[in-house]
Structure 1
Amino acid sequence: MLSSSSDDEYFGNLAVYTPPKKSRYVLDNTVPDSMFRNRVLVMLHRLNVPKWKGIPPAHSNKLIIKRLSGALTNAVYFVAPPENVDAPKLLLRIYGPNASLFIDRTHELANLRRLARHKIGPYLLGEFANGRFEQWLDSITLTRDLVRDPVLSIFIARRLCEMHFAVTLSEHELHELPTVWHNWFKWLPPAREAVKKLRKPLPTMTVEAFASLERDFAAYYQWYLQWSSDKKQWPVLKLVFCHNDSQYGNILKRTARRRALRSPAAAHRVLVPVDFEYAGPNPRAFDIANHFAEWMANYHHPTHSYAMDSGSFPTVERRQEFYQAYAEQDAVLNHKLTLYDAAKLSTDLSPELRESIETYMQQCEAAMRAIMPSVHATWALWGILQHIEDENDEWVDVVDGSDTEEHAAAPASTENAPKEHVPPIGSSDFNYLGYSDAKLNLFYQCCASLGLESRGRDEFPYNDISKQNE
């Protein structure tokens, strides 16, 4: 098997100089295993993916293919050449049948190409009618516990800032409605209709409660526009390219040593953001708020994977560390600060720069609280709609052959393969309505913290998070 450094050498600046090829053909993952393997190899030949052209079709039965997930939006596979064959490992995504409402694939693929030019995320290697091949990254997926690691949290802040800085928005993107509001107004009508069809609606999802939610969100939206109207100079409110789904499962930590990461100043680049399906223009504060909100989730909990634990929200101290790392990285990118060790917060700042960063941090906290209700409300709509689409899910889950003796081993250096039988988010067993209920309650708690309509909920305890939960 090849090391990830070898894979990096294969791809180099491929995304910049060689646009990935496209095929109009469909790759059907419901066919028998041997046929699926053959079609994967034929597709790789059509797309002229580096080194794979030399593997003859007769050897397709020797491919190592491991299904990693089968969610509503993607079926994801690890693909490797036969042993002792010099070709890079790949990630194969086959799109699900029910993603069109949430995901614009043309937009997503354009984003992947944009990001690859800045060495953010995996390279896009080939596209076909219902999926794509990407660069495989030897890595582990961050977990609920890993995002709480103080150093990794600093790294996440720095990487978010770099992504926000690197990708230039088009004139159209700069003048269109930010993604958070666009999604709300796009998802609201179908969610309203979905609520009417719920057989056993939760108290937050009755027709009457949903009508109140519409009014309350409209009032919050007007409040936010008024609140932000005189703060357009705040860096954290600048419209930038955002990930918009910065949960722990969408951040990888590379496991293979790379020459480019040996400098302590670049150590944070060991983290790689992935899954840009919801990416688009938003205020920087949205990505920060969404990441903090995801600290409350435990998508692999054996019984309550849908629940949100407010006690797990980052403490004031941890938020301040995150803001400082983000503000420092902004200063580095604007040539106002030299960073020597990405794992540490700077202590020898000039008085002027220190004051600037402290102001930046205060603005981050205020903006995070202001935009947080929108984070919870939009994901609540998403959960309602996913519940409806889940009921009509058309995935046919076939055996991929990876449980045979020949292919039993999981991919090297990855934790993507599930280790226990629990319903993670995105699976057909996930409790989407329970998730939406939790998000709606958080929406009202965060509105209460802003002095807005709360429907009887207490304020969200931003300042009273217990350190014991970290």
Structure 2
Amino acid sequence: MPSALSSQSSVKPDASTIDDAQSTKGEEDPQVNLLHQVSEWLQHEKARRQNRKARRAEAASGTKVAARESEESPVDEAPHCSESTFSLDKLEKILLQYSGARPGDGLASLQSMKRATRRRPKGLRRGSASESDYTDVDAPVPSVEAFLDNSKTLAYTGGTAEEENAGSSASSKRSKDQEAWLTFKTEIVRLAHTMQLRGWRKVSMEEAGDIKVIRLSGALTNAVYVVEPPRHPPAPPKTDNGSGPVVSRKPPPKLLLRIYGSQVDHLIDREKELQILRRLGRKNIGPRVLGTFLNGRFEEFFEARPLTPRELRIPETARQIAKRMRELHDGIELLEEEREDGPMIFINWDRWVDRCEQVTTWLDKELESPQNEIKAATEPWRRRGFVCGVPWEMFRKAVDNYRIWLIASCGGMNEIKRQLVFAHNDTQYGNLLRMEPASQSPLLLPANEHKQLVVIDFEYSSANTPGLEFANHFTEWCYNYHDEEFPWACNNRLYPTPEEQHRFVATYLTHRPAVPGGPTSPLATPSMRGGRSTTAITPLNLDEGPDGPGYQQLETSAEEELESQVRNLMHQTRLWRVMNSAQWVAWGIVQAKIPGMGEAEVAAASGKGSLEDVKHDSNGNREQKTPTVDSDVDEEETFDYLAYAQDRAMFFWSDLLALGLVKAEQLPAPMVEHLRARAVDY
């Protein structure tokens, strides 16, 4: 699904290894903090005991000399004082032994250890890999009750500094554009100040026009911008004698600004999305959310580049994606309610289907209206016929019947729930970034090379089956959302072959990430949860060589078990591919902005009443309002959502034909011909 194709870009390839002390200020290891507190108490208690001994000895002898003698002689001390001193000494030894400090260092070593742990160990930049032990506590994310208006800044140019436009004979429209961009930039800086985003207090409101704001191409669910600080920040303050700067003037970090699309509030539950992002943040997966506002958020910007459609097909890259997918599935535990609710793809369909019915029913009636032929000259969708290939009622019934068949084929809903994993659900090439580390980075080690891949855009992430995740990813091999002529088209010939699927799934199943903390680490995968069983291992006779019958039998058994698991997951992928297509057909219909489609007419066409009525999901416990279609937004439409939906519907019908769930005579003859020409039988 084309949600965000270029959400990040590469500028400095070695930035992934930069360790920023400011970003980790206040972060400590709880165990070291405890050691520090106990050591402080121990020092205080030993000092009190020492003073008490001195006073007791001085009172007994009347002289300081006697006090020193009593201090050196345990016979003159009270028995309980001697035992307490011995206990304190023993406690000190235990603390030093537990902390790993040298005995000669004393308690001072515990103090230095506390200070040292305030800085995150150097190495992988936060978020550059899925595995980290350094962030286990939710950090508060600032939130502002503000709305950031980007309706006049939806073009992909115009975000450069004002000085770049100086001296140009700008037209009246250009002047208005510059004014709109300046207002937009000013509000961005104001929000950054209010949220106290790290480093951005250095950028004054007067410098707002000098920041660089560039909208990234291809982001279809949201408008995504890169926000860069001024190129020439003000000179740092001087010392009293004017000899030089007091501190270095480090520029603020770049930001990723995401403004939610006007058509997707009913597609995505933003509060749930933020909760998921917080869970991912505890594992350092994906970019951090730095701050939120009413219609968007600021995120950490990765110095990386998105993959290209061609790269998905490179065997080594495909293996790396499979490993990352396995780490995500096993690294994030599903909540009990997520597993109980069942696959998110069913929930999405149930949530979107009413809106789809309203829109598609209106479109179908328009195709049959007398004025359709006249309007078709300026509205391409009218020339292509039914959006779903057939009238809406037939498409919806086909989805309902297929869903019943799918659940039965997978062993029932309880078995499906058992197989669920935390899935990304949108692993298209633009949501996979490759870090470009410096030559000394640990990301370049062979064992870590797959960790150069960073997954972003978790808007559709939740519980789904591995088969659905594979089906979604494999289908994305067929798309190039940057194609100049047909960015919406699905090229079925590019779907991975059985051999390519086998290699991907086998890599996924056999990946065992080396995670700090051993097999109990959350991201370790010593076993496959959710119904995925590992290969049974029989005891190995160490006296036998590698050519012995026991060793060969074990190896053969493991290979056969692995092959069985691969074949099973490939079969599951085939079954779930139809539901995946149905979901994105609905997504394209809901996203579409159609000229002349009034909300009242849409509601009347479907007989569902006003779109402002409260909606409930399939469980009856969720309500929301469907926003009105904004046909007045001044934006050049670069992606044909209805064409995308119709093309995806062809994939849906092709699979139903291949599975025998629909007969050729039930479909229009020209459509059947088209489907057979582009069928993917594997």
Aligned to 1:101: 266
Deviation at 1:181, TM superposition (A): 1.0
Tell me, yes or no, if the aligned pair for 1:72 and 1:99 is still in contact at 8 Å. Answer: no
The runs of 4+ residues in structure 1 deviating greater than 6 Å are 230-235
Count, aligned residues:
424
1:280 partnered with 2:462: yes
Deviation at 1:334, TM superposition (A): 2.7
Q: From 516, 523, 526, give the equivalent of 1:335.
A: 526
1:86 partnered with 2:305: no
Which ranges of structure 1 fall in alignment gaps of 5 or more residues?
338-347, 399-426, 464-470
Distance 2:329 2:317 in 1: 18
Partner secondary structure for residue 292 of structure 2: strand
Percent identity, please. 31
Distance 1:430 1:124 in 2: 28
Deviation at 1:134, TM superposition (A): 0.6
1:270 partnered with 2:475: no
Aligned to 2:279: 114
Amino acid at match of 2:428: Q
Deviation at 1:361, TM superposition (A): 0.7
Aligned to 1:298: 480
Amino acid at match of 1:189: D
TM-score by length of structure 1 reads 0.82
Aligned to 2:404: 222
1:239 partnered with 2:360: no
List per-residue Cα deviations over 1:238-281 (Å, max 9, x = no partner): 21111111111211111234844233222111111111111111
Aligned to 1:403: none
Aligned pair in 2 of structure 1 residues 213, 28: CA closer, same or farther (>3 Å)?
Answer: closer
Aligned pair in 2 of structure 1 residues 230, 191: CA closer, same or farther (>3 Å)?
Answer: closer
TM-score by length of structure 2 reads 0.57
Aligned pair in 2 of structure 1 residues 252, 389: CA closer, same or farther (>3 Å)?
Answer: farther
More deviation in 160-169 or 368-377? 160-169
Aligned to 1:5: 16
Tell me, yes or no, if the aligned pair for 2:16 and 2:436 is still in contact at 8 Å. Answer: no
Distance 1:331 1:250 in 2: 22
Aligned to 1:143: 308
Aligned to 2:502: 320
More deviation in 322-331 or 256-265? 256-265
**1:13-28 paired onto structure 2 within 5 Å:** 16-28=137-149
Aligned to 1:64: 212
More deviation in 140-149 or 449-458? 449-458
Q: Which has the higher contact order (CA 8 A, sep 6+)?
A: 1
Tell me, yes or no, if the aligned pair for 2:468 and 2:576 is still in contact at 8 Å. Answer: yes
1:161 partnered with 2:326: yes
Partner secondary structure for residue 205 of structure 1: coil
1:250 partnered with 2:431: yes
1:462 partnered with 2:681: yes
Deviation at 1:135, TM superposition (A): 0.7
Partner secondary structure for residue 258 of structure 2: strand
Distance 1:180 1:450 in 2: 20
Amino acid at match of 1:334: T
Distance 1:53 1:15 in 2: 28
List per-residue Cα deviations over 1:136-160 (Å, max 9, x = no partner): 1111111111111111111111111
Distance 1:331 1:206 in 2: 43
Amino acid at match of 2:318: S
Distance 1:231 1:259 in 2: 46
1:433 partnered with 2:444: no
Amino acid at match of 1:242: A
Amino acid at match of 2:589: I
Partner secondary structure for residue 391 of structure 2: helix
Which ranges of structure 2 fall in alignment gaps of 5 or more residues?
1-10, 25-125, 127-133, 153-178, 234-249, 368-381, 515-523, 529-551, 598-628
Partner secondary structure for residue 32 of structure 1: helix
Distance 1:111 1:40 in 2: 25
Aligned to 1:367: 572
List per-residue Cα deviations over 1:8-52 (Å, max 9, x = no partner): 633646794522211112223346222322221221111111222
List per-residue Cα deviations over 1:286-332 (Å, max 9, x = no partner): 11100111111122222222221111111111111101111112687
Aligned to 1:442: 651
Partner secondary structure for residue 216 of structure 2: strand
Aligned to 1:261: 443
RMSD: 3.0
Distance 1:103 1:297 in 2: 23
Aligned pair in 2 of structure 1 residues 28, 171: CA closer, same or farther (>3 Å)?
Answer: same
1:385 partnered with 2:590: yes
Deviation at 1:354, TM superposition (A): 2.8
